[in-house]
Chain A
Amino acid sequence: MKKLLTKLYILAFMALVVYFGVIIWNLTFAHIIHEYHERNAANTEHTEESLAQKKKDDKSFEQVILKSEKRTKHYLGYRVLEQQYIKGHFHHIGYDVGPDRHSYCSSCHGDMPHDSVTKDLRAFLNMHAFFIGCQTCHARPEGEMATGVYQWYSRETGEIIPSPVNDAPPGTYKAKIIPFIMENGSLVRIDTQAKIDFVEQYRLNEKELTEGQKSKSKSIIHNVVSKKPVICEECHSSENPLLPLADLGYPKRRVDSITSTEVVGMIKNYTKFYMPKMLNPGVSHPVDPVEPLLPVEPAPSVPEDENLPPVDRAEG
């Protein structure tokens, strides 16, 4: 036993010595070698090939995505403000929402899914998407499935949690509202494990699927999506809002604010001046010059911002 322990100790110490060796190398000779390469690179940088290579590297996933997000720390003395660094951003953020790791929608569509289709509203819609699950607005469970039950799930774990609203600053909940439906006689979340697994399998097998299989998967994944999403006024209305705000933990003050005349009035103005067709999403904006590529027809089976690009690619 003693002998074994001794041998183990020796082995561990040997590993430590190798580790020290690496540290020492990095602290000494590595600097000299690094300087040599840097100096050489600086002298030979302007060849055509190296420039082309560089341009290519600049557009790589690693450069554009992985290395693009930086964080800064402001040392204020009484506190350290750490936040995401956005180039040219003037106002301070001081708050990290964190991505939704649970939603199977955002695994393709992202956490800021609303894009050019809803140009004037996209920021508003994205803002709501930070605390309202996609299915809350884009699925309308009908008939037996409809329950009117909504709950919060954690953006981090995906689990149902008690209402985070309370006195938290608006929109900073790190949780999302998800509808519940009746399935086979029991009350379940609309994003059932079966659906999550289905999407996961699709994403895993995507490369091997045939055209038919691919389109079929997409159609099945999106079949929960309703033709007309829930629109602003269905919730921002003092009369019978779609979401049971009180049940979701909103205190009266907040419910009043959400359904207040100013919010509702603003939405009215939006619908009147900015988005006359807001009640018919998917239909192009008649005065918007960016949109004419889209069909001026009744919406396809799902809202366009949800499925257009992937389907295009799948069929093309």
Chain B
Amino acid sequence: MLLNLFPGPRWSFRALLVALCLLPGWLSAADMGNCLLCHKYPGLSRIDQSGNMKLMFVNEEIFNKSVHSKVKCEGCHADITKIPHEPAKPVDCLAVCHIIEPTSEQKFSHKSVKTFMDESVHSKVDKEGKLKKYNEDMPTCKDCHDNPLFRPLAFVKKVRPGIADDAMGRCRVCHEKEDFIFRFYNHITTRLHKSRSPLNVAEACGKCHDDKEMVKRHGLTIMAGSSYQETFHGKAANLLDESIPDCLDCHVVKGKSVHQMYGNDDPRSSTHPNNRGAICNSVDCHPNASVQFANYQVHPVFDKEKSPFVYWFTSFFYVLTGGTLLPLMAILFLDLLRRLFPNASFKRRK
């Protein structure tokens, strides 16, 4: 669908088409409505009434490497039908958009996500369908997702991030549209591994789960993100290990999606005490590990009340380290000071 750019009578649809064809290469497939005419400018911004910055800039180069690159602007921003337009309304992520899902040949929609979410621990309503207390804290799409970017992998020679040109060459044998090849390659290889680095996942969850107030409000016992960082897993994630488990690897039931997460006390949950062992000794992680291996505290906190054993054990080492090194530092300091004035002393022994 093309936007009717110029509602005035002077501008015929045909003239517009001609104009679009003549425009240089930066006009992407998604931007059929020529929205980038304005939205390509990084300065397209304002400060709203409550003092928040609104940025209307769309970085085309990055957008074209996102999973939504084929979706037209108006596919999501459905309220905008002409240029110039009124301030855009918030996008409804569950809207039926204009992409055809190839297997069902139906129009595509994220609607199933809502069904999943309503079942999950992150739903706004409880089992009886009543709104939960503090339901405004529960995440909506954009709390976790920004526009997901492709993270292509190359496999041909070795597994590495990026695109394998040799593989693309094979696609070109049968497929003509460069745009399709690029997107298909990116889509598949992005889906074959983590769509976000473990560090980014931990950060996304940490937005709420490391928020002191929220953690307290919802009666959670630990700060999930920061305690994750205390383990080898979190530390390796900090150093950009991709194979290390992040929040989702343990908290999402295998074969399901992140939107179907359950609380630890739910028997369906992967982190329910009965199911925990199976996470750790999965074939990709610690095969042959015993069930009690899963008793490892993946969220250790240094807190006397919450985990006294960890507290006392860690404190012992703190005291040992500090108690050894600080006196030694003092001696070192005094030794240096003594060397500064080697000949001075209160009492001389003759």
Contact = CB atoms under 8 A, between A and B. Distances in A.
A/B touching: CB–CB < 8 A: yes
Nearest to A12: B336
A29 interface: yes
B42 A171 contact: yes
B145 to A, nearest CB: 8
B147 A123 contact: no
Contacts of A266: 5-6, 37, 83-84
Q: Which of B38, B57, B326, B329 has the most CB of A within 10 A?
A: B57
Interface stretch (B61-69, B113-121, B168-176, B289-297): B61-69
Interface in B42-93: 42-47, 49, 51-59, 61-63, 66, 83-84, 86, 91
Contacts of B57: 91, 93, 95
Interface stretch (B130-138, B257-265, B302-310): B302-310
Contacts of B143: 88
Interface in B304-350: 304-305, 311, 314-315, 318-319, 321-322, 325-326, 329-330, 332-333, 336-337, 339-340
Interface string B190-207: 000000110110010000
Interface in A1-57: 7, 10-11, 13-14, 17-18, 20-21, 24-25, 27-29, 31-32, 35, 38-39, 42
Contact of B11 (A27, A126, A265, A274): A265
A130 B55 contact: no
A278 to B, nearest CB: 12
B84 A127 contact: no
B6 A269 contact: yes
A126 B146 contact: no
Interface in A258-298: 260-263, 265-266, 268-270, 272-274
A72 interface: yes
A39 B303 contact: yes
A172 B44 CA distance: 11
A35 to B, nearest CB: 6
B245 to A, nearest CB: 16
Contacts of A171: 40-43
Interface in B9-58: 10-11, 19, 24, 34, 37-38, 40-47, 49, 51-58
Given A77-B161, A91-B147, A130-B42, A265 B318 contact: no
Nearest to B82: A269
Interface string B88-103: 0001000000000000
B55 A18 contact: no
Nearest to A121: B84
B162 interface: yes
A14 B337 contact: yes
B37 A262 contact: yes
B142 A88 contact: yes
B5 A262 contact: yes
B151 interface: yes
A77 B38 contact: no
A16 to B, nearest CB: 9
A112 B153 CA distance: 40
Contact of A31 (B142, B242, B302): B302
B250 to A, nearest CB: 20
Contacts of A7: 340
A90 B147 contact: yes
A30 to B, nearest CB: 9
B273 interface: no
B240 interface: yes
B174 to A, nearest CB: 26
A75 interface: yes
Contacts of A272: 8
A92 B63 contact: yes
B149 interface: yes
A112 B337 CA distance: 58
B7 interface: yes
Contact of B333 (A14, A114, A115, A253): A14
A13 to B, nearest CB: 6
B6 A130 contact: no
Contacts of B147: 90-92
A252 interface: no
Given A78-B161, A91-B146, A13 B200 contact: no
Interface of A: 7, 10-11, 13-14, 17-18, 20-21, 24-25, 27-29, 31-32, 35, 38-39, 42, 64, 72-78, 81, 86-95, 97, 110, 112, 114-116, 120, 122-124, 126-131, 169-172, 253, 260-263, 265-266, 268-270, 272-274
Q: Which of A74, A81, A95, A272 has the most CB of B within 10 A?
A: A74
8 contacts: A31-B302, A77-B152, A91-B63, A93-B57, A110-B47, A112-B45, A127-B45, A270-B84
Contacts of B63: 91-92
Given A78-B161, A268-B8, A126 B40 contact: no
A124 B91 contact: no
Contact of A92 (B8, B59, B319): B59
A131 B43 contact: yes
A78 B42 contact: no
B322 A25 contact: yes
Contacts of B305: 39
Nearest to B153: A77
Contacts of A120: 84, 86
Nearest to A38: B303
Nearest to B318: A28
A130 B41 contact: yes
A262 B34 contact: yes
A269 B62 contact: no
